[in-house]
């Protein structure tokens, strides 16, 4: 055990022997005689840790004092007797520590869900809490949204884990799921508006989550089950998702907010991992080694081999498509480039909408609309 940990535990023990329940309430900012709940204690502790952590220039002794006060008020440590008394104070009853271990699985926490639900998307998992040498307090939260015919439904899933490692800890271990079912009747408002409000409503049911929803969602495949792992697909907004899934009227499909183009390269034999200098020649001999994907408001469309051949032959102010969009030294796996921000983007998208006639209607209309903006 290193010297820092030994010093911490010695200081912790000295402060614990001197701290009463009244002192613990005062340290965390509670009025005398109050009985704060576990969540109130955790919230006050987090605030003071943020303000007094040594990494932010705080006093290490003050930090230990805050930790002792939190442990006393949460019931994991007993307070010292009041001054002049030989027995513990009877004025306060600290809440008893939870019986270890406390475990609730996902399936055990799952509420009854309508059988006809088609799951649509999941919010990216949001994490709250902290993890250190002495203890771990983590919460992972997500909202799963589905269509139940006459209503929208959402599962607010909160996974809480707590563990203590310090010497003398009560060996408490918490690994629980809390899942709430939230629903809303379909009305006359646009679907994207109703879905957005439903996610916010579900998010407010979380008890231990401090992180906020970042407004992005991840669409799921048909047959997705809530107990499955969260998808790792491309993030998009609810509005774009509603447009791409046909939840909005057809005429609203024609005006996308942005278009990005992704070009991925794979290695070809004989090129030693380098990008071929002649895009057309490379495609002629190694056509499957390249992939060009349009990403329109989060929805992907991969160009066919014939469309790639035609695209490879265009010249934009003397440069081919790849060099004009990605530059001369494009790598084998290039990050998506936003054509709407490219100085030649409108010219490129207009050419694609006109010349690549085999594309689906929604792709062509989106390119036309973006080229006119």
Starting at the edge strand found earlier in the chain, the sheet holding 299-302 runs 299-302, 290-296, 259-265, 337-338
Give 272 or 298, the one with higher predicted confidence: 298
Angle between helices 305-313 and 279-286 (to 10 degrees): 160
Task: List the single range of 74-78, 108-112, 280-284 with lowest mean pLDDT.
Answer: 280-284
Position 2 scores a pLDDT of: 58
The dihedral formed by the CA atoms of 339, 342, 347 and 350, expressed in degrees to the nearest 10 = 20
| pLDDT 10s digits, 311-328 | 777 777 777 777 777 766
Q: What is the CA radius of gyration of the chain?
A: 29
Tell me what the mean pLDDT of segment 123-132 comes to.
87
Position 195 scores a pLDDT of: 93
Q: Which of 37-41, 203-207, 340-344 has the highest mean pLDDT?
A: 203-207
Q: Is the confidence at residue 284, as pLDDT, over 60?
A: no
The confidence band for 141, taking pLDDT boundaries of 50, 70 and 90, is: very high
Q: Is the confidence at residue 223, as pLDDT, over 90?
A: no
**Proportion of the chain above pLDDT 70, given as a percent:** 74
Q: Is the confidence at residue 270, as pLDDT, over 50?
A: no
Tell me what the mean pLDDT of segment 97-125 comes to.
83
Task: List the single range of 69-78, 238-247, 264-273 with lowest mean pLDDT.
Answer: 264-273
The confidence band for 233, taking pLDDT boundaries of 50, 70 and 90, is: confident
Domain architecture of the chain: domains with CATH: 3-74 (1.10.287.110), 102-248 (no CATH), 254-372 (no CATH)
Show contacts of 2-5: CB within 8 Å, 24+ apart.
5/133
Q: Is the confidence at residue 162, as pLDDT, over 80?
A: yes
């Amino acid at each position: 055990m290193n010297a820092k940990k030994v010093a911490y535990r010695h200081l912790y023990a000295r402060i614990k022997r001197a701290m009463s329940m009244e002192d613990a309430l005062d340290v965390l900012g509670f009025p005398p005689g109050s009985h704060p709940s576990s969540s109130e204690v955790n919230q006050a502790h987090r605030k003071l840790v943020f303000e007094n952590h040594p990494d932010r220039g705080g006093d290490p002794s003050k930090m230990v004092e805050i930790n002792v006060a939190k442990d006393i008020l949460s019931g994991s440590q007993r307070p010292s007797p009041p001054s002049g008394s030989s027995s513990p104070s009877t004025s306060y009853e600290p809440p008893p520590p939870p019986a270890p271990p406390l475990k609730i699985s996902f399936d055990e926490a799952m509420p009854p869900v309508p059988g006809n639900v088609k799951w649509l998307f999941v919010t990216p998992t949001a994490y709250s809490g902290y993890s250190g040498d002495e203890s771990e307090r983590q919460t992972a939260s997500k909202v799963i949204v589905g269509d139940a015919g006459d209503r929208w439904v959402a599962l607010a899933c909160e996974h809480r884990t707590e563990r203590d490692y310090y010497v003398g800890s009560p060996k408490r271990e918490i690994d629980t799921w809390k899942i709430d079912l939230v629903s809303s009747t379909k009305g006359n408002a646009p679907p994207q508006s109703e879905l957005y409000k439903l996610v916010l409503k579900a998010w407010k049911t979380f008890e231990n989550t401090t992180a906020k929803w970042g407004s992005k969602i991840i669409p799921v495949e048909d047959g997705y089950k809530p107990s499955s792992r969260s998808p790792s697909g491309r993030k998009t907004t609810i509005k774009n998702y509603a447009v791409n899934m046909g939840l909005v009227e057809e005429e609203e499909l024609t005006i996308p907010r942005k278009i990005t183009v992704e070009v991925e390269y794979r290695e070809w034999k004989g090129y030693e991992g380098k990008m071929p200098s002649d895009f057309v020649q490379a495609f002629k001999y190694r056509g499957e080694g390249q992939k060009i994907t349009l990403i329109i408001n989060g929805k992907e469309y991969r160009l066919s081999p014939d469309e790639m051949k035609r695209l490879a032959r265009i010249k934009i102010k003397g440069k081919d498509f790849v060099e004009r969009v990605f530059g001369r030294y494009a790598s084998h796996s290039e990050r998506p480039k936003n054509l709407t921000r490219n100085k030649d983007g409108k010219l490129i998208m207009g050419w694609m909408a006109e010349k690549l006639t085999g594309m689906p209607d929604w792709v062509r209309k989106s390119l036309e609309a973006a080229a006119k903006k």
